[in-house]
Chain A
Amino acid sequence: MLTGDIVEAAKFIGAGLAMIGAVGAGIGIGLVGLGALQGMSRNPDYYGTILTSMILGIAFAEAIAIYCLVIAFLMLFVL
């Protein structure tokens, strides 16, 4: 039977499908950047504070894409 090949193919398909979740992270990071840029342009004095909060927000939003990546890696390399 072709069980080995089907499992191999299913691994790749699964990894590819798992990464669709990164779309949300991309939109989220874009929105964080939008808010940060608007804030920085309105109050140029608070550049440092806004930059720090922006980095924090980007890391939170990116973590969701990293969860999707971990599931994809799990499918490709471990299981």
Chain B
Amino acid sequence: MEAKKKWRWGVNRWWVLLFIILNILAVAFFKPLSPHIQVAPEKLSEHPLFTLPVIGEFYLTNTMVASFIVMIVLILVAYTVKHILSKSTLEPRGIAGALEMLVEALYNMTENSAGKWAKVIFPYFGTIVLVVLVSNWMGLIPGVDSIGWLEHSEEGYPIVNVIPNVLTAIVNGKVAEGETGYIVTPFVRPVSTDLNFTLALAIISVGMTQVIGFKAQGIRYLTKFFNVLNIFKKPFFGFMDFLVGFLELISEFSKILSFSFRLFGNIFAGAVMLFVVGSLVPYFVPSMLIIFEFFIGLIQALVFGMLTMVFMTMATQGHGEHES
């Protein structure tokens, strides 16, 4: 055991006091204002990047920038872990140790549910958890959702040059007559607040569930939806089974909707709450909200992944094989 620094009480309270004082000073100089909130992500480029014939135009939106950042962060973490593990695998330190804990916990969960299909199901579970986790937590970094271009708008605010030619801020107040107000279009907006991203992830999740179902059971997977097994042997119950199968088909589509809206609603509502409460009570409450959003981001990532894993497990098990 190497010698550790002795824990002393009260070292960090001076940092907390410093940040509280900075908070009070900042609020005294720049009064908080209620921001412009919109559901659709804001475009950062004037002209579309490319245009597909049926689907339409693709602009560079601020959530797309955030998704690039998520990808870069995950690739960097992967290379760092590989570098740390290549030196010695006995007891990895630092970020490799944390990731090993996470991966082991997730893999144990998958093995308890899925049994022998855990090796096929685990990549989807792990990837979804990591991507959604990083993209949820990105909304808590200062600078995301607040630094961006200034744009003209009718319901805008007047501007103030903080550092000339480098930094300009919008301030609370009335716009002078004859000038238009400005609003901020952020450079980076957390990618889970974009309904496109959550919908795409939900479609991938539900689609791969069907693929794994076909891989596990072959063509008999279709009897989950079109249940014609018992329709001639026991006429009445067979017909009920057929209707239940039809209901399962509808519930697959409702799973797509439910996945996408659960993640979108949680993270978007969190971002809106951070803005609105930050403008109403700027002193201590936003810190509590950031802790809450930290927790919610983690839970939503885990829930998305766990539901994917559970549905894939249920797809590999057919009728009459219900194990406890």
Residues of B within 8 A of A63 (CB): 258, 261-262, 265
Question: Would you call B39 and A78 a contact (CB within 8 A)?
Answer: yes
Contact of A66 among B37, B266, B272 (CB under 8 A): B266
* Bound complex: CA A59 to CA B299 (Å): 8
Q: Nearest CB to that of B108 among chain A residues? A: A48
A67 lies within 8 A of chain B by Cβ? yes
B86 at the interface (CB under 8 A from A): no
Do B302 and A55 touch across chains, with their CB atoms under 8 A apart?
A: yes
Let me know if B157 is at the binding interface, CB within 8 A. Answer: no
- Complex Cα–Cα for A40 and B161 (A): 58
Q: How far is the CA of A8 from the CA of B72 in the complex (A)?
A: 42
At the interface, yes or no: A52 with Cβ under 8 Å from chain B?
Answer: yes
With both chains docked as a complex, state the minimum distance between the C-beta of B308 and any C-beta of chain A, in angstroms. Answer: 12
- Give the residue name and chain of the B residue nearest to A55 (CB): B299
CB–CB B265/A67 < 8 A: yes
Residues of A within 8 A of B300 (CB): 59
A-side interface size class? 10 to 19
A77 touches B299 (CB 8 A): no
- Per the bound structure, the CA–CA distance linking A73 and B266 in Å amounts to 12
- Residues of A34-72 whose CB lies within 8 A of B: 52, 55-56, 59, 62-63, 66-67, 69-70
A59 and B262 form a contact (CB under 8 A): yes
Interface: A74 (CB within 8 A): yes
A55 to B310, CA, bound (A): 14
- Report which of B262, B268, B299, B306 forms a contact with A73, defined as CB distance below 8 A: B268
Tell me, yes or no, whether B208 is within 8 Å of chain A by CB. Answer: no
Max chain B Cβ within 10 angstroms of own Cβ: one of A55, A66, A67? A66
Pairwise interchain contact B265-A77, C-beta atoms closer than 8 A: no
Range, interface on chain B: 20 to 34
Contact of A69 among B38, B269, B302 (CB under 8 A): B269
Inter-chain CA distance A78–B39, complex, in Å, is: 7
> B24 at the A/B interface (Cβ < 8 Å)?
no
Tell me, in angstroms, the Cα distance from A78 to B258 when the chains sit together. Answer: 20
Q: Are B261 and A77 in contact (CB under 8 A)?
A: no
B264 contacts A by Cβ under 8 Å: yes
Complex-state Cα separation, A63 to B258, whole angstroms: 7
A70 / chain B contacts, CB cutoff of 8 Å:
261, 264-265
Chain A proximity of B240: nearest CB distance (Å): 25
- B49, chain A: closest CB distance, angstroms: 24
Nearest Cβ on chain A to B187's Cβ, whole angstroms: 21
* Complex CA–CA separation, A29 to B142 (angstroms): 32
Q: Roughly how many angstroms separate A52 CA and B108 CA in the complex, as a whole number?
A: 12
A66 pairs with B302, CB closer than 8 A: no
State whether the Cβ of B303 lies closer than 8 Å to any Cβ in chain A: yes
CB <8 Å contact, B302 and A77? no
Asked whether B303 lies within 8 Å of A66 as measured between CB atoms, the reply is no
- B204 CB-CB contact with A under 8 Å: no
Contact between B262 and A74, CB atoms less than 8 A apart: no
Query: Taking the complex as formed, is B109 at the interface, i.e. its CB lies under 8 A from any CB of chain A?
Result: yes
Sampled A-B contacts (26; CB under 8 Å): A52-B109, A56-B303, A56-B306, A56-B307, A59-B262, A59-B300, A62-B266, A63-B258, A63-B262, A63-B265, A66-B261, A66-B262, A67-B261, A67-B265, A69-B265, A69-B269, A70-B261, A70-B264, A73-B39, A73-B268, A73-B269, A73-B272, A74-B39, A77-B37, A78-B39, A78-B40
- Known A-B contacts: A52-B306, A55-B302, A56-B303. Give 5 more (CB < 8 A): A55-B299, A56-B310, A59-B300, A62-B266, A67-B261
Chain A residues within CB distance 8 Å of chain B: 52, 55-56, 59, 62-63, 66-67, 69-70, 73-74, 77-78
